[in-house]
Chain A
Amino acid sequence: MSRAVALHLGLIAALFAAQFVLPTYHQGNVARIMVLATYAIGYNVLFGYTGLLSLGHAMFFAAGLYGLALPIQHLGWGAGPALLSGVAAGALLALVVGLLALRTIGVAFMIVTLMFSQAFYLSVLLAGTWTRGDEGFVIPAAKQVLFGIDLATPTTRYFAALALFSLALLATLALVRHPFGKTLIAIRENEERARMLGYDTFRHKLGAVVISGAISAGAGAGFALLFGYAGATFASVQYSIFPLLWVLLGGAGTVIGPLIGTLFIFYLIDYASGLTDAYMAVVGVVLVALTLFAPQGIAGELRRRVWKGLP
């Protein structure tokens, strides 16, 4: 077992152990952070490893959220099939968006994803009869049951969040060690060269968009299932900016970066919102400071200074 695998298994073990020491309030927070970090991991596959900056990932998160919540609410589905339909909705949306948006590069790609996401958000509002728009709706506790386990208690919720997070973490670790992941990194570093070497860069990038969209949708579906709520806020621009912020702070293109970034920002916002209503100002300051002083993020700096082999 290599050091990298040991590090990530150790991280999961530490999170597992944390459940027994953390007070209830922080236990709920960390469960939430792990689900959001899963979203950040999904974002990181595209931004960190493939080098494509999307400003519209909220649509994938929300596709998972509604892909799970709507069938439960209106078709009476159980949590299991609904979870699958959530992930499938995200992957399908990612495939369509990817096919269109990948025809553009750079700034145009950012704007196209932003526009698609905005159209998705407005569609959620337009379908207010089913989605209840901004107000959202609550998934009844009786439906938050998977394989006979009630997910609405703090302990089971924590472990379910940990399971989701571990799955995503180990999947990305496997991905970046796989030839497919290595090709993505080659595309990020120099797409022209990767194409010259004979790689079909379009199909690799499309694959990255779909994987990223599916993981993000999985996080969205998990969020709706564990916390029993679906609302249009999760499709808004803010939720496209958050994963960018988490990944930038934690370290783009590192496997553990998304968790570090999400943890920091979550508690920073939690603290700031106790002081003022204008807590989003903190987000702004951190974004500007990051672009100016630490474009590599925390894990990126660690990789540069401490351990060059950090995946």
Chain B
Amino acid sequence: MRGTLFAALLAVCPGLAWAGDLTVSDPVVPLAPPGLMAHSAYMTLTNAGDVPRTLVGVAADGYAMAHIHRSDDSGGVATMSAVDAIAIAPGQSVTFAPGGLHVMLMHPAAPQAEGDTVTLTLQFANGEALPVTATVRRLKHGS
């Protein structure tokens, strides 16, 4: 029954991905300036299940590589580091957002336009792979 509900939800919310008790909401690839080697994807991952889940990698169609990265501001200097694994406890969410966790998309095969989609495959420690469709759109900045 729950599966049917989720399937129905998926049909009406194309931005929502679901595998087991994991859901991904608001997957987005901000439209990037032209000619860049790297840009980012963001989303929120929620573990609605009873067991901890661990995100260990990501692949992106149309890119040579994709990595999980974290931006930090250490003493006023913007730094980035690769993240090997992200544990998501039952009932918890992890948010990928500008200035923090991001999926770094490297070497795009083609330039992107607003409205395009990027298929990301989230890889988990238990071997599960969760496909996510992220939409390319201009990020709105505001107070």
A and B: real partners? no
